[in-house]
Structures are given as C-alpha cells and as structure tokens.
Amino acid sequence: MRKIFEGGMGVVYEADQRGARDFIKRVAIKIIRPNYASQKMFIENFIGEAKLVADLIHTNIVQTYHLGETNNACFIAMELIRGVNLEQFGHQLAEKRRQLPLELAVFITSRVARGLAYAHAKTGPDGTPLGIVHRDVSFKNIMIAFEGDVKLTDFGIAKARGFLTDQEGEVVAGKADYMSPEQADFQITDKRSDLFSAGVVLAHLILGYNIFKGLTAEESRQRVIRQPIPDFRTLDSRIDDRLNHILQRCLTRDRQQRFATADELMYELEYYIYHGGYGPTNETLGKFIRDLFGQSPLAAPAAEFRDRTESMENSSRLHAGS
C-alpha cells in the first residue's frame, strides 16, 4: 500500500494480506534491498529471525505472521502497530515540553519485562530452552500503540540456539548506550543482560535522557563499562528509595546482584505501581499518548517499523581487539 520505513539495507511497507471472499488484513512487510540479498549470512539471519519470532506469541511482542519468498527475495509479514516507538515518544514529550508521569514510565518498563520474561522462558518443540537473549532492548525497539499496548520488537540480533549465526565474543552488536556492561565488553551474555538494558530504558523514561549516551558509540560503550551508577534520587525528586533500589539492581555491573529473571523485575515494577491500589493500565497509557500526539486509536501507523537490516546498519558493531 505504501512505504512506511526505509533503512540502509531494508525497506518496510504497509500491505494488504488478501484471502478468500474479499478478506483483507493490513500487515507490515519487511524486505531486503536487492543489493544485500546475495549476502549469505545476512539472509540466513533474516530467515532465522523470522523462524524464531514466529512462535513468540505474546501481547507485549510484535507478532510475526509469515515468512515468504517471491522472485528469489525473502519477506516477513508481521503485525502492523498503529503507534510510535519510544524514541519518537521521547522526542514528542521534549517538543511539547511535557514530563512523562513516573507511574507510566514504570508501567511501560513492566510490560517490556513481561515480554522478556516470556521470550526468555521459551522452549523448542522438544521442551529444550531456546536461551533467547534479545540483546537490543532500546527505545527504538519498544513500541506503544495508540491504544496503549507496549510491544517489544526486532529480534534481529537476538541470541537463540539453532536460529541465528552468532559472533558473540568477537563482534558486539546493538545500540551502545543501552548495552549491558558484559555485552559492551565482548563477553558472553545471558538473560540478565536484557534486564540491564531494561533498567537503562526505565531510567531514560523517567529522566528524559540516557545516562550512558556519549558523542560516539565508543564513548557510550566505555560509559556503560566504567561510569559510576548514580543515586537516582539526586537526579529526580520523584524517585523514592524503593524505585532507586529497583534501578540500582537493574544497573549493577555484577550480574549476580542483578535481578535474576525478568519475572522478578516485572513483579517489583508492578508491585511498585499497584501495591497502593489503583494504578496505570493500557487505557491510561493510550489516553496519554493519543493526547500527546493528537491522534485517535484509528490513526495511521507510525513510520517506524524497523527491521533487522536497519538494526544492523545503525547499531554499534564493534570487533574485539579493534
């Protein structure tokens, strides 16, 4: 129907999936630019991502419907989200000079934790854990629909047994200012790496800026590895002892002291916003974002449907020893 995003290596379109008797479903189609379609590892990982995400069926993960091939070109049909990613969301908050309510920042992160908990626990048909680590939990890969649903997307550089070619330890891929220290330092990651990244997202949502963001990817990477983690109570008066403790546990460089699972993080975040009674819901978030963007729930989809190709192009890809 129309192009909704164009990256350096791939293009995403809004499309109609047609069926019998005038059945139509609106989807997003991800394709690879022809000049990259001959790169074997790239194609294998594009296919691997589709196969991996196909069975990740969860309300907080963008769903993949179909992997197809036509004219020797692969494409992925996926859920079309009518909304924005957190980067767009943050830019709009800054432009309108509005501060995100603290409870909505915690709510958004709790939904990310829910999606991660599901992905981390996913097993194959034989019951063997897939060992999924997203490795790119960041503002650009978290979407909010205008209805208020929070969706984690882009598993293009995820680690999972048997699905994607992995060069961990030699190459680090992802956005440097959201990486865990072990990821930034070319170490082998596990699910706790994603929880550090979720902590960066939470702090960014509350403060309005990323504490690890440098002028270059390398500077950001060094900050993640070495910069002291602040007492967040000194940076925002809304942050109390309990929320500061949650942030500190997410962002500790000692993996043994971090939250052990996304379920544990999700519980702490949800207890924080709901223990006193009524707290935010999808509807609360939906009303806030529609007001922020002047949209209705039926508004056109955002122009930010990122595919693995764009993630590879714009992410920090550093080689050990370089």
Q: Which residues pair with 208 in a beta bridge?
A: none
Statement to judge: residues 71 and 110 lie in one domain: no
Higher pLDDT, 190 or 284: 284
Supply the pLDDT for residue 233: 97
Residue 158 pLDDT exceeds 90:
no
- The total of other beta-carbon atoms located within 10 Å of residue 253's CB is 15
Whether residue 281 lies inside any domain: the answer is yes
- Indicate the number of domains in the chain: 2
- The most distant pair of C-alpha atoms in the chain lies apart, rounded to whole Å, by 61
Residue 70 pLDDT exceeds 70:
yes
Mean pLDDT across 239-250:
97
Which of 80, 114, 144 marks a domain boundary? 80
Per DSSP, the three-state class of 16 is strand
CA distance 9 to 271: 42
Statement to judge: residues 12 and 64 lie in one domain: yes
Whether residue 141 lies inside any domain: the answer is yes
Whether residue 305 lies inside any domain: the answer is no
Supply the pLDDT for residue 11: 78
Statement to judge: residues 27 and 172 lie in one domain: no
User: The CATH number of the domain where 170 resides is what?
Assistant: 1.10.510.10
Q: In Å, how far are 115, 193, 216, 265, 305 from 142, measured between CA atoms?
A: 11, 16, 22, 17, 11
The DSSP output letter for 216 is: S
Supply the pLDDT for residue 299: 55
Higher pLDDT, 105 or 67: 105
Statement to judge: residues 25 and 120 lie in one domain: no
pLDDT band at residue 165, thresholds of 50, 70 and 90? low
Mean pLDDT of the chain: 85
Statement to judge: residues 88 and 24 lie in one domain: no
pLDDT band at residue 180, thresholds of 50, 70 and 90? very high
pLDDT band at residue 37, thresholds of 50, 70 and 90? low
Statement to judge: residues 71 and 91 lie in one domain: no
Supply the pLDDT for residue 308: 41
Whether residue 198 lies inside any domain: the answer is yes
Supply the pLDDT for residue 130: 85
Statement to judge: residues 291 and 211 lie in one domain: yes
Residue 227 pLDDT exceeds 90:
yes
Residue 228 pLDDT exceeds 80:
yes
Residue 121 pLDDT exceeds 60:
yes
Say whether 185 is catalytic: no
For residue 24, what are the contacts with CB-CB under 8 A and spacing of at least 6? 16, 17, 18
pLDDT band at residue 166, thresholds of 50, 70 and 90? low
Supply the pLDDT for residue 105: 98
Statement to judge: residues 138 and 181 lie in one domain: yes
Per DSSP, the three-state class of 77 is strand
CA distance 218 to 135: 17
Which of 22, 126, 136, 231 is the catalytic position?
136
CA distance 167 to 15: 34
Statement to judge: residues 122 and 139 lie in one domain: yes
Statement to judge: residues 253 and 105 lie in one domain: yes
Identify the CA nearest to 113 among candidates 97, 137, 88, 95. 137
Helix pair angle (262-274, 241-251), 10° resolution: 170
Statement to judge: residues 30 and 133 lie in one domain: no
Mean pLDDT across 204-210:
97
Whether residue 44 lies inside any domain: the answer is yes
Residue type, 19: G
CA distance 33 to 11: 7
Which of 56, 80, 104 marks a domain boundary? 80
Mean pLDDT across 41-58:
78
Which residue in this structure is represented by tokens 């190709």?
309
Whether residue 307 lies inside any domain: the answer is no
Helix pair angle (262-274, 102-121), 10° resolution: 150
Residue 309 pLDDT exceeds 50:
no
Which of 80, 115, 150 marks a domain boundary? 80
Instruction: List the domain range (segments joined by +) for residue 117.
Output: 83-300+313-319
User: The CATH number of the domain where 54 resides is what?
Assistant: 3.30.200.20
Statement to judge: residues 203 and 56 lie in one domain: no
Mean pLDDT across 25-41:
78
pLDDT band at residue 156, thresholds of 50, 70 and 90? low
pLDDT band at residue 154, thresholds of 50, 70 and 90? confident
CA distance 183 to 171: 10
Q: How far apart are the first and last CA of the chain?
A: 43
